[in-house]
A and B are shown apart, each in its own frame.
Chain A
Amino acid sequence: MTEGHHLAPSRSAIDAQLRAILGDVLGLDAERVAGFDSDTGLFGHLPELDSMAVAGLLTEMEDRLDIVIDDDDVDGEMLETYGGLLAFAEGKAAAA
């Protein structure tokens, strides 16, 4: 097997992927999503982001970031802000 084949994606790559997924879920263009900072509120702050939309978001994160998200991973803190979600995705990708 080629060395480095399973290198985890870089933090900026994860950040870009996550913004793209959120743009798709929320129907926002890249410019709007680029304006998200770590305090930008998500679940509980955006009425349209209901449990079904969050479920789709997490499933899409699994597909695009090649991670597995367990029941126990999902909590209010991780979903509440963009910073929380990004930190979670980075932790998962590093452990994968």
Chain B
Amino acid sequence: MTPFELVDWPCPAPGGGTREEMALAFDKRRENRLLVLPAWFDEANKLRRLTVEVMRRLDLAGIDCVLPDLPGCNESTAKLADQTLASWRTAAAAATEHFAATHVLTVRAGALLAPEGLPGWRYAPVGGRPVLRAMLRARTIAAKEAGRSERTEDLQAMARSEGIELAGWHVGAEMFRELEGAEAPPGLAEIEQAALGGPALWLRAEPDEDAAQADALAAMVAIGMAGA
């Protein structure tokens, strides 16, 4: 199995300058170079293995792939609560440029960060509102289980002004407000879950993997890039 590399890349920092962020890369300076924008929050954990398995397959198909950490996630030293939709879009655009990506594959809410003008695919895209809805619901259910009562409307009002912790993720007020109306920009070809021939792994209670789904997704991207 080809090992991947963990590399640093300069990500624009708020207030100017850059901060080193990490990326998982299969980079042999090949012509076809795919930027992979991961799923977010809880779904990032559920889909990490599928995402990297797809990259392994694309590497074998002669395609360089890079999966950058979003600021505030994984190995990043930035605070998640400080992040905004704009800061993540800036990060995605900077990663595109730094790694000279020719194409992009977004996963779930990663579609919200698709760099303008970069061709590619969005796998099972989801808007900002459903992302928040699922996490708000997880919080109200957990509160109920703990014998407390939290109402979604109250949590939303608090989140819009102060930010909120949802399922262990600190979502800043600006990010929360932005996500309430965020839709994926048009331009990418959509790959629906049904095309992968299996159940959605982000629904799974515990992270899992599915080689057949990774094969299917990688094949669609590889064929698309070969023909481009």
Binding site for B on A (CB under 8 A): 21, 23-27, 46, 48-60, 71, 74-76
Contact = CB atoms under 8 A, between A and B. Distances in A.
Given A24-B199, A59-B130, A59-B137, 15 more contacts: A23-B199, A27-B204, A46-B205, A48-B206, A49-B205, A51-B167, A52-B42, A52-B167, A53-B204, A54-B138, A55-B135, A59-B133, A71-B140, A74-B144, A76-B144
B205 A59 contact: no
A80 B84 CA distance: 37
Contacts of B40: none
Interface of B: 42, 130, 133-135, 137-142, 144-145, 151-152, 167, 199-200, 202-206, 208
Contact of B203 (A48, A56, A71, A74): A56
Give chain A's interface secondary structure class.
helix
Q: Which of B145, B202, B208 has the most CB of A within 10 A?
A: B145
A57 B167 CA distance: 15
9 contacts: A21-B203, A48-B205, A51-B139, A52-B42, A52-B134, A55-B138, A56-B203, A71-B152, A74-B140
A21 B41 CA distance: 22
Q: Which of B133, B200, B202, B203 has the most CB of A within 10 A?
A: B203
A1 B93 CA distance: 48
A53 B137 CA distance: 10
B205 A25 contact: yes
Contacts, number: 61
A71 B151 contact: yes
A41 B130 CA distance: 28
A7 B133 CA distance: 28
Contact of B205 (A53, A71, A75, A76): A53
B202 A56 contact: yes
Q: Shortest 10 CB-CB distances between A and B: which pairs? A: A53-B205, A24-B199, A55-B138, A55-B137, A51-B142, A48-B205, A51-B141, A52-B138, A51-B138, A55-B134
Nearest to A46: B205
B203 A60 contact: yes
A24 B200 contact: yes
B170 to A, nearest CB: 16
A40 to B, nearest CB: 15
Contacts of A25: 203-205
A55 B141 contact: yes
A62 B180 CA distance: 19
A23 B204 CA distance: 9
A53 B207 CA distance: 11
Given A51-B167, A52-B42, A71-B151, A58 B137 contact: yes
A77 to B, nearest CB: 12
